Chain A
Amino acid sequence: MANTTGLKSYFQFKNVDWGSMMSATWETVWMTLLSMVAIVILGIILGLILYETRSKSGVGYRILNWIVGLFVNIFRSIPFIILIILLLPITMKLAGTIIGPRAALPSLIISAAPFYARMVESYFREVDSGVLEAAESMGATTWEIITKVLLPESKPALIAGATVTTISLIGYTAMAGAIGAGGLGNLAYQDGFQASNNTVTLVATVIICLFVFIVQFVGDVFVKITDKRTL
């Protein structure tokens, strides 16, 4: 149905199936948000382990730090597109399918959580050591120091890091879409590229850009609300 060529081919809006555009948008949004929830939780846990075991002297701590560090470094260095393929059997087992948004979740989470974990570790290290010492001198347990000092004092950084991670994750969902995970990436590839319908590709691009802008804006607002260092 789309045979126009040249610049005009980008503006054949009558050729856009708005229904499938809508559902593809929702697929991208929920794929991103759902995996983000898991990434934030997992990233903070891994980041905490890396932070807490870093300067401890016990053998157990050393081993734990080494294992988590290795896991994080390996999955952070595998290119995403390769990771999807590598994880196909695991995905099949976890999601029961290798096609659709559900199937994209494991690889999205496994690739982005280590990335976020490294950021989290560095944010924790930036928390004022004097404040940590003050809490220790009050008789706080390690858990109290984590929940009452470490997490609240690094909250704006954690949010800013999550924003950056979400944005790169949106890029990953599009990549996953291209190999069958659904969403706007899938739509742009199949209905846009393979059906030579440039308008669909353009519209999908614009929607993804808007999504990125919104995520950035919301992230900035939350950073501003939570940061009480300069008023």
Chain B
Amino acid sequence: MIRFNNVSKQYNTKDGGLTAVNDVNIEINDGEIFGIVGYSGAGKSTLVRMLDGLEAPSTGEIDINGTDVAKLHGGQLRKQRQKIGMIFQHFNLLWSRTVIDNIALPLEIAKVPKAKRKQRAEELIKLVGLEGREHSYPSELSGGQKQRVGIARALANEPTILISDEATSALDPDTTNEVLDLLLKINKEMNLTILLITHEMHAIAKVCERVAVMDSGRVVETGSVFEVFRHPKQDITKKFVSEEFTPQQSDNTMTLEELVKKYPDGQIIRLVFHGPQAELPIVSDVVKHFPELTISIISGAIHQTQEGALGSLDLQLVGDQSQIDQALEYLKTLRVGTEVIHHG
């Protein structure tokens, strides 16, 4: 169990004090994958670096299984650090060491005998699927492979906690999914607590059970990923969730104004489904029941989260107002979350 109790961190800068982390309270259960999402500068990295004693909190305590990490020093702190693995956005591998020697570095630091180091490093290479690349240097590997080395290295000393600090942010979408799948696998196989720091809601949806949303040093929302996706409360959370539901944002997603301009008639509604509903033929049902309505699909997305599928669909309904109202009522009976974005 990891507990952040009223943790704050202030920095003194030339322009006065800066509060990077502001009164954070989080509890993370053993064996859980916990996500912390927020934009850069929200204080996520500072918060997790405190777990490792790389930063000291200004106030509050950080409790890992009954030990207040902030009070540890010297040898005790170094011993504690060996129980926490960390993976990074830019991998932070030593270019001067081969794959196997990079993985063996934490073992050397933990004073593991040489023969055992080799054996353990080879096990880890198998675990992360890098057989045959043991003697390559990082510069000969792709981004995804480098992160696999990073993960193997983080797991070398059999930690109980793994911190992933934006570990997929420098990777392309396919590689991101591979790395996330690997994290899921090790979470299940080794019963490892994983803290996933990211600004990508996609990564959270895919692997996390619970999530905390951070903004300007504060945790503004916490809950199960499923709940947060279905009923985001804070504006920033809504923003993260809607970004995730419109993944093609950069190229062809339109803002609400643009949507309204392009589809001036009728009503634009957004349906949010979850679990088994995502697999029901809801749209064709509505079409059958209300044949006079013209329904156009504007955009949509479905995501697999740890608790099931979660989807959103933007529709334009054109036709008689009473028909539209009835259709909305009908959707409610199907227990589909319905939100009217715009009245024509």
Chain A residues within 8 Å of B, Cβ to Cβ:
128, 130-131, 133-141, 144, 148-149, 152-153, 155, 226, 228-231
Contact = CB atoms under 8 A, between A and B. Distances in A.
B88 A134 contact: yes
B62 to A, nearest CB: 15
5 contacts: A136-B81, A138-B82, A139-B82, A148-B108, A231-B140
Given A134-B88, A228-B139, A139 B81 contact: yes
B137 A133 contact: no
A137 B54 contact: yes
Q: Looking at chain A's contact residues, is the secondary structure mostly helix, strand, loop, or mixed?
A: helix
Contact of A153 (B78, B81, B95): B95
Contacts of A152: 94, 96-97
Interface of B: 52, 54, 77-82, 84, 86, 88, 90, 92-97, 105-106, 108-110, 137-140, 157
Given A148-B108, A230-B139, A141 B81 contact: no
Contacts of B110: 139
Nearest to A145: B109
Contacts of B93: 131, 134
A133 B165 CA distance: 13
Contacts of B157: 138
Contacts of A155: 96
Contacts of A226: 96
A144 B95 contact: no
State the 10 A-B residue pairs at the shortest beta-carbon distance, nearest first: A139-B81, A139-B78, A134-B92, A130-B92, A139-B82, A138-B106, A228-B137, A152-B96, A137-B86, A140-B109
B84 A137 contact: yes
A150 to B, nearest CB: 11
Contacts of B86: 134, 137
Nearest to B78: A139
Contacts of A140: 78, 109
A148 B102 CA distance: 11
A13 B93 CA distance: 58
Contacts of B82: 138-139
A153 B54 contact: no
A219 B97 CA distance: 21
Contacts of B54: 133, 136-137
Contacts of A230: 139
A138 B96 contact: no
A123 to B, nearest CB: 13
Given A131-B93, A134-B88, A148-B109, 12 more contacts: A134-B86, A134-B92, A134-B93, A136-B54, A139-B81, A139-B106, A141-B78, A152-B94, A152-B97, A228-B95, A228-B138, A231-B139
A138 B137 contact: no
A138 B92 CA distance: 12
B137 A128 contact: no
Nearest to A153: B96
B82 to A, nearest CB: 4
A139 B108 contact: no
A228 B82 CA distance: 27
Contacts of B96: 152-153, 155, 226, 228
B42 to A, nearest CB: 20
Given A131-B92, A131-B94, A153-B95, A138 B139 contact: no
Contacts of A228: 95-96, 137-139
B99 to A, nearest CB: 12
B48 to A, nearest CB: 10
Nearest to B90: A130
A139 B108 CA distance: 11
A148 B92 contact: no
A32 B52 CA distance: 47
A33 B88 CA distance: 43
Contacts of B105: 135, 138, 148
B90 A138 contact: no
Contacts of A130: 88, 90, 92
A231 B138 CA distance: 10
A152 B94 CA distance: 9
Contacts of A153: 94-96
Nearest to A151: B96
A131 B81 CA distance: 15
A128 B92 contact: yes
A141 B81 CA distance: 11
